[in-house]
Amino acid sequence: MKKLPPLTQFPYPGLRPFTRYESDIFFGRDEHTRELLKKLKETHFIAVLGESGHGKSSLVNTGLVSSIQAGFLDSAKIRWRVAQLHPGEKPLTNLATELKKAFAPTGEEESSPPSESSLPDEKYIIKLRNPSWYLPEGTCLLLLVDQFEEIFTHTSSTHKNTKTFVTELLRASQLSNVYVVISMQSEYLGKCAQFHNLVEAINQGSFLVPRLTHEQLREAIEYPARIFFGKVESSLVDRLVADFVDDPDQLPLMQHALMRMWNKAVAEKKTEIKLTLNHYKDIGEKNALSKHAEELYNKLTSKQQEIAEVLFRNLTDRDDYDNLCRSPVRLDKVAPLAEVSGEVVAEVVKVFCHGTDETDKPNFIKPCENLATETILELSHASLIRYWPLLKQWAEADAEDKELYLRLEKDAIAYHDYEEKLKQHQGWNQLKGNSNTSSTSKVPVLWQGNDLNKALEWQERMGNAAEHWVKRYHKKQSQEFDQPSFKKTINFLKRSKEKHGGNTPKEQVQQGVAKKIESLKSKWTTTTEKFTRGIIWWLFGSVAFVISVFMFAKSFEITTGILSIIIWGTLVFLSYKAFEHYDRYKELKGTTTKSKGLKVKKPK
């Protein structure tokens, strides 16, 4: 039996978008929803456009869908089936999966999504061409494609299945009982020209999502709390509006801050739940998102922190516009990169999903439930990359690693091919002569200098996970992983090190330690010599002092007495210097001994 939609349990969803079942807490978008409905009456295809953080997904998922199902689009059309999807890496497969659910008879259990290895079920794509034959009489179909830009970021737009996916959407929008709505970041609009008739369809039915006004923000802040019999202090409302009205990520940041404050207010267990400025200050004010992320990260063990870095590096990428963006990844693809089991990775995921106590509930990663090895993980919102400095640092570092490796692989293959050609033409000696050619030459050369050191550092940091990491980036570029090319690249790196003597960071540290030890040994030797000379002079002085005292005791001559005093003073001075050098000798000996046993940590 089909399950009923879950009831809303919290007034604020946090970082994730609103779902279609949360219309009771969705405020501030009534005007925009009415405009969308008006456009959808005029054309069966609408592209909802806007920058990241403007609330496109929430507007479509919650505002539009709930209004359509309530009959606000057309009073005669009140029976609807909704197929909602993200294109992901396999858009046609995902479309077939959602159509299978939409065409299923009412009351049947929704089928589980196909595995990654399965092909699209073509019969459901064919059904989309004549949905009236398979849907109950008077039923309309709404195709909702959220984050449409994934056909550019997660797969190749030139792939046959991707083109078929777009073609089927456009064909379906021409039918009387099918409506198609896509949401997409506006910066990808130009790329839509790659698909026949897509730009024309967008021109006829586009809706650019505006930011919320002051009044709309107030509604989004105050009204959800009232639904749950809570209040928001008026001074806090004013502060939130002032902080977020001009922020490009106003909605996810504000919703996350409200969610955090609500959870803290509930945890206080007072008779009245009221959000105040003190709650806002406690969560970090406008920096609540980054503070929350840092708190969760700092609660992890050192090993879990290493896994978290690998996880978040895999959840980000750089798009064609050089912007950092989200990148979904299967849980079992992260595990070998972190060199742990999938269960261990899942434990880290749960921390960033559910938090560590009842006041957390971060929802930084989705999905949060039923984690399995084949689960596809994704950041809840791209604003996390922009506002959590540590994640941004990881994402940028991983993007730089990607660029470095792709350049290394290209040069390695070129060098290998050039080498083979020279061997075929008995030009091996020419290769040796050109191996030191400058980088501006067209002749492929081994790497050296800073590039070589960076590549060696990457290899050392990746360790045994290097091959898994390379497979991941080849897949993102819709390329098959080539084992021979990978081996050529590693061999090229090895030969570059042998010829030009590049050093990994660990080796550089070890060399620095060795130099320090040599320096200490030199100082130790010098100090030892001074100490030895001081002891010898002290012994001579002692003998001279004893003799002079003996002579003075026998003769009582003033000259002998003065000489004894001078010798005594010299003896005191030499003794002082000798023991001074002895203290320095012990200090250097201890430092050198410690340096010999110094352990060098593997750089991250």
Against a cut of 0.85, is the pTM above it? Answer: no
Residue 74's CB is within 10 A of a number of other CB atoms, namely 12
**Closest of 416, 321, 288 to residue 15, by C-alpha:** 288
Task: Inform me whether the pLDDT recorded for 200 exceeds 60.
Answer: yes
Residue 156 or residue 63, greater confidence: 63
pLDDT at 401 over 50: yes
Query: Where are the chain's structural domains?
Result: 29-208, 299-387, 393-503, 506-596
Task: Tell me the per-residue pLDDT of 443-501, one tens digit each, with 9 for 90 and over.
Answer: 788 998 899 999 999 888 888 888 888 887 665 554 555 678 889 999 999 999 888 87
Neighbours of 399 (CB within 10 A): 17
Structure confidence at residue 419 as a pLDDT band (50, 70, 90): confident
CATH assignment of 29-208, among 3.10.180.10, 3.40.50.300, 3.40.109.10, 3.30.230.70:
3.40.50.300
Question: What confidence category does residue 340 fall into, taking pLDDT thresholds of 50, 70 and 90?
Answer: very high
pLDDT at position 221 is 97
Is residue 60 a contact partner of residue 47, using CB atoms and an 8 Å limit? Answer: no
The residues that bridge with 253 in the sheet, in sequence order, are none
Backbone dihedral region of 556: left (phi > 0), alpha (psi from -120 to 50 degrees) or beta? Answer: left
- In the CATH hierarchy, which fold is given to the domain comprising 299-387? Arc Repressor Mutant, subunit A (1.10.10)
Calpha distance 458→301 (Å, rounded): 24
Per the prediction, the chain carries an average pLDDT of 81
- Alpha carbon distance 113, 116 (integer Å): 9
Helix, strand, coil percent values for the chain (each to nearest 5):
60, 10, 30
Confidence of residue 294 (pLDDT cuts 50, 70, 90): very high
For residue 206, the SS3 value is strand
> 29-208 and 299-387: same fold?
no
